[in-house]
Structure 1
């Protein structure tokens, strides 16, 4: 028994959901503790029961959720002699409502759906004070501003009156932190708090949580599937699989001496920079993908077409006009999203594109897809027989070109129609473009399902009945339906568990090898890009600041921004901890934090591409020598 008192103690907890014919048990006799001032990580795949456990603690179970047995003891340091069994409290009763938000706070995975879009940030944070404290309006306003400053807002007074849509993902997560911590809770539950954030913003949020924990003396229950985050944050780790605890102990014990096969498999499913050439991720389950049915349907490429780039982009620029100010003082400002970008995508390669949110990655992909029109520049597609000026295509010519470039989106939930069966979703592009007879379309849909490892019997199901990984494979099947030459993968695995992520990445690699596909792979996860890409381009402020073959970029990054991204990657290794203080010192994409040789000082023409050899190009001042850059 630890000398440190426990803020939370879960004993033999069993939770189920009322269904026709009885209760389906999803949490099966779970027991663990959260000591005061410590961080305990709850690790497992989606569907393992992690979030259900946190909902039970906070009294947020859905109506059909039932506590079937066990205890959830919360001991408030203010009243250490009167622990409360949260499992016995009336849901939405006065006892749990007095604790929730006041003594127990929670951060959710997606802040945009957790924050009210019609209320200012300040008002939403102040609501907690109104519910749990009796102080003056001005005192509340001052306390909210202080908390906003504490969580990293540079101008708390301005942030107080802003709405969630005006904030970036990282700032929205900081606002959620402020809301959870405004009443100085004894326990903070963080449910996947950094899943959708860039590595640099993630590191800043983690550093902030650690600082606030030290200042407020609170305990943290961290729910995540990212073992890199766990290695850098957790004191103790609890591994959950199918509602049961498979392994628990200190972070040192579990990372240095993992005992259960499930934890060992999770560690092997993670991409890392130490992987050998040709080494594959080990997925927990075989995807069952059968690519043989698709190979005969793949068109052979033109002879002699391998030498020319499949897609060439030259001097591409896109700016947006935004309105700012009030009704009488409104003005129009121009924001450059893509700024003089040039690169080639070679036939049969995977080009990785990395950078923080807002750097222009998705805007660039939309310009390539002709979903947006650039201000200037060119996009040239080489089909092996001729060069096609993509930006000049219109009418039937544009319609005929569309199947050649397809896209896999980040969120399969919003990109798949909930009103269509899987059969109709995959068959739709074939029908739009008049490919084959109805019988041939049905046969091709079946072959596509087999290729991505899904049973053909699932064709009459709807997207909601599938897991996240299965939905993403349905998206891949739809993308492959038109035999594309180039596939743009826009964050296709960012929302997936590590085990499912391994399945999807292995599938994409196999498809590339067997079908000769070409990828533009967009991601903020550098380890994922390192696993799948042949070359990598780094984007900052709409410009490519560095591009190089994968092994060169990660072994010898030259640009300050690339080096900052590398420093922010959390390793699932206790011997390589993140230097959170260094990362939190400022935004990685802020040119003020770059070395002088990479700054343009307000004049974009003052920096240009410098060839370092072997396909390694960096954006820097021409006066700086190649040798000096390599030495830096």
Structure 2
């Protein structure tokens, strides 16, 4: 039996009096107890279809044709056409949140910041199943326990900002499932999560699906998630279905060129040295071979950046009246050190909260370290970055630039692209106005954007185009080092390939040096020459890219690699083995990798070939490697 059947669905939007179809005759089905994945790029119509099913289309949008038939297993003879229901009538309200649940991509923006988790779940429950508050609280705490909260009573009294990203997503899942829906719509439920947390959330969804017998419509652009979760796959492009079928047929026998291109655009661990991602649309028309490669540095040259013994602690909590209160010290960065050679890309990976971004902010001088050393050596002069102050710091800032994770919030909505790209040149007094205008045009061409777009504002660009503007801004002052902080985590697979290829091309042409921060191991594998793995504020393993992925030694690195979903049906992810307590939980690590009361008991042991692992000094190196 099909829980949901969408036939010839057409959805149009009216903007400034002009009508435009964004979904053009889509048809799909979601059988009872099965998972159907809806796959496509941003702007393909995936989320609009989910909004239509939930009756949540914006005012400018409307269903202009077709049917959305919902068959409730509790009343199989009654079929409801959701498309024909009044927009805010009792019919759609009874279904939405009751028989059809939904979890959204960004739990922080879809949860109320001023209400506790328990209150928000209680509201969803009492709307559809009125009952005494005491009974509702029991059900809520039972559901919170089912979705993985260790202390459900305490969790129900917490606010969303007090939870990590993974726990917020679990709270969203509890809210969507509290009324035991027949259909769960999951719109990019794990995009912003680490691989280990993603594995836990996906495993939880599978367990609850089996337990409750519900159907899932999974909306995603991650083909690894699709291969591990879906029974059927529907591929959509520009509002039209390109291909649909069983997951076996889609991955083993793809037919449509668009689906084949999506599969080739995903970075994976089997890529050969020098192999390039096949982007659907390259960022620049000219081939990278047309550019002259930058000269390689001498083999004995000093590293461009030398970081030693970085420490940063934060004090959390509050001090109450008369000095009473609860204060706790968190070691965000704990004795971190590494080198970055000129022209190389060092990858920095780890779960959220491990200290990656704090390290990058210390190098950028956006955060002040408690202690440590950061030496910048351009071949002519050694600079102690942490000692710089005043005019000396201002003069140094152009040498290190940053590409941020979210291209929307990192670009001013009130400035044109021309103003955004010219601003660094004006601040650092690089040239006169005519020369700056020429430089801005050259930057646009470097990142593959039309110079006619210079007078537009950021909101008129796609996510990938906005990220290219961010890259152009980082290049404006010709930096020696660029820190990339999760630069593609918010982008689709196809746009991600475009941006990664662009960064590699620019690195080859200009001899750029990258510190590339990400939790996506496949992306780091494609970009980095060497990789540092960070856990609980410390670098636990450092190795050349190929060595780290083929011969990982530290249990934390192994847990991260076990949690990566492959877009390959022959290498299904074992969710139970991935990271049951989170990869950074050291209770499962061997004694060789655990410290006692003193952190200094651990040291970085050399395993050969530039491979280092954090372990006890007396640990047997041969035993660790084997």
**TM-score class normalised by the smaller sequence:** over 0.9
Does residue 1:197 correspond to 2:193, yes or no? yes
Q: How far apart are the structure 1 equivalents of 2:311 and 2:344?
A: 24
Post-superposition shift, 1:622? 1.2
Q: 2:598 aligns with which of 597, 600, 603?
A: 603
How many residues end up aligned between the 2 structures? 624
Q: What are the within-5 Å matches in structure 2 for residues 172-571 of structure 1?
A: 172-288=168-284, 307-324=301-318, 329-571=324-566
Q: What are the within-5 Å matches in structure 2 for residues 105-116 of structure 1?
A: 105-116=101-112
Please name the residue that 1:68 is paired with: 64
Q: How far apart are the structure 1 equivalents of 2:197 and 2:257?
A: 32
Post-superposition shift, 1:516? 0.3
Post-superposition shift, 1:566? 0.4
Post-superposition shift, 1:562? 0.2
Q: What are the within-5 Å matches in structure 2 for residues 47-126 of structure 1?
A: 47-126=43-122
Is residue 317–residue 340 contact of structure 1 (8 Å, CA) maintained in 2? yes
Q: How far apart are the structure 2 equivalents of 1:303 and 1:408?
A: 24
Post-superposition shift, 1:92? 1.5
Post-superposition shift, 1:301? 8.8
Q: How far apart are the structure 1 equivalents of 2:262 and 2:590?
A: 38
> CA-atom RMSD, angstroms?
1.7
The DSSP-based 3-state class of the residue aligned with 1:60 is coil
Q: How far apart are the structure 2 equivalents of 1:537 and 1:335?
A: 21
Is residue 301–residue 384 contact of structure 1 (8 Å, CA) maintained in 2? no
Q: How far apart are the structure 2 equivalents of 1:537 and 1:393?
A: 26
Q: 2:15 aligns with which of 11, 14, 19?
A: 19
Q: How far apart are the structure 1 equivalents of 2:591 and 2:103?
A: 39
Q: How far apart are the structure 2 equivalents of 1:164 and 1:9?
A: 35
Q: How far apart are the structure 1 equivalents of 2:166 and 2:376?
A: 36
The DSSP-based 3-state class of the residue aligned with 2:141 is helix
The DSSP-based 3-state class of the residue aligned with 2:617 is coil
Does residue 1:621 correspond to 2:621, yes or no? no
> How has the CA–CA distance of structure 1 residues 534 and 302 changed in structure 2, closer, same or farther, with 3 Å as cutoff?
closer
> How has the CA–CA distance of structure 1 residues 618 and 584 changed in structure 2, closer, same or farther, with 3 Å as cutoff?
closer
Is residue 296–residue 343 contact of structure 2 (8 Å, CA) maintained in 1? no
1:545-590 CA distance string (max 9 Å, x none): 0000001000100000000000001000000000001125211111
Is residue 318–residue 375 contact of structure 1 (8 Å, CA) maintained in 2? yes
Please name the residue that 2:567 is paired with: 572
Stretches of structure 2 lacking an aligned partner (at least 5 in a row): none
Normalised by the size of structure 2, how large is the TM-score?
0.98
Is residue 271–residue 531 contact of structure 1 (8 Å, CA) maintained in 2? yes
Is residue 351–residue 537 contact of structure 1 (8 Å, CA) maintained in 2? yes
Normalised by the size of structure 1, how large is the TM-score?
0.97
Post-superposition shift, 1:19? 2.8
Which stretch shows the higher mean deviation, 255-264 or 379-388? 379-388
Q: How far apart are the structure 2 equivalents of 1:541 and 1:291?
A: 42
The DSSP-based 3-state class of the residue aligned with 2:408 is helix
